[in-house]
Amino acid sequence: MKEQICEHARDNIVRDKQWKLHAAQCVDCHELLAVSDWMGAFASVTPGPQSLPSPGYLIFKSRLKQKQAAAQQASLPYYLMVIVSALVFAIGSVWMLVAGDTPIASIMANALVMLIPGIAVLSIGIVIAGSVYAAAAYAVSRYKNQ
């Protein structure tokens, strides 16, 4: 059963002085006035939403993070496969070098001997590449935390 509500309480006349006199005697309007006063006091205490981002931006950022997480999860088997194949390659190379006198071992040994003069340049290149990678990872992590 629907409850009867004073017709003045349904109108938007909260600031009218005559309605406030009526509200002193009407139960519905008295309750509406009390709620209105409470909401006004609460609104003055609550800080304004000046620094909040827009809802569209929040939805966009949320969807972007979901897609990044899905991409990260999807690429996990790829990275595991890269690690496994690198280990197989390293173990196989060492085994071929150590195992004995095969043509592949002699080719690899000659290639390593050819690399010796360029080790300094190779080391500098590795240090520069690592620095660039670390800087990029730091920039991406700072961008993600914003």
**Region near Zn ion per CB under 5 A, out of 19-27, 33-41, 52-60, 117-125:** 19-27
For Zn ion, the closer CB: 5 or 91 = 5
**DSSP designation for 14:** T
**Region near Zn ion per CB under 5 A, out of 25-33, 40-48, 92-100, 127-135:** 25-33
Asked if residue 108 binds Zn ion (CB under 5 A), the reply is no
Asked if residue 14 binds Zn ion (CB under 5 A), the reply is no
Type of residue numbered 118: G
Asked if residue 30 binds Zn ion (CB under 5 A), the reply is no
Asked if residue 6 binds Zn ion (CB under 5 A), the reply is yes
Cβ–Cβ < 8 Å for 33, 23? yes
Chain-centre distance of CA 15, in angstroms? 46
Q: Among 13, 14, 26, 97, indicate the residue that binds Zn ion (CB under 5 A).
A: 26
Asked if residue 13 binds Zn ion (CB under 5 A), the reply is no
- How distant, in Å, are the alpha carbons of 13, 38, 39 from that of 23? 11, 15, 17
Q: How far apart are CA 58 and CA 60, in angstroms?
A: 5
Asked if residue 8 binds Zn ion (CB under 5 A), the reply is yes
For Zn ion, the closer CB: 21 or 91 = 21
Chain-centre distance of CA 1, in angstroms? 49
Cβ–Cβ < 8 Å for 53, 62? no
Binding-site ranges for Zn ion (CB under 5 A): 6, 8, 26, 28-29
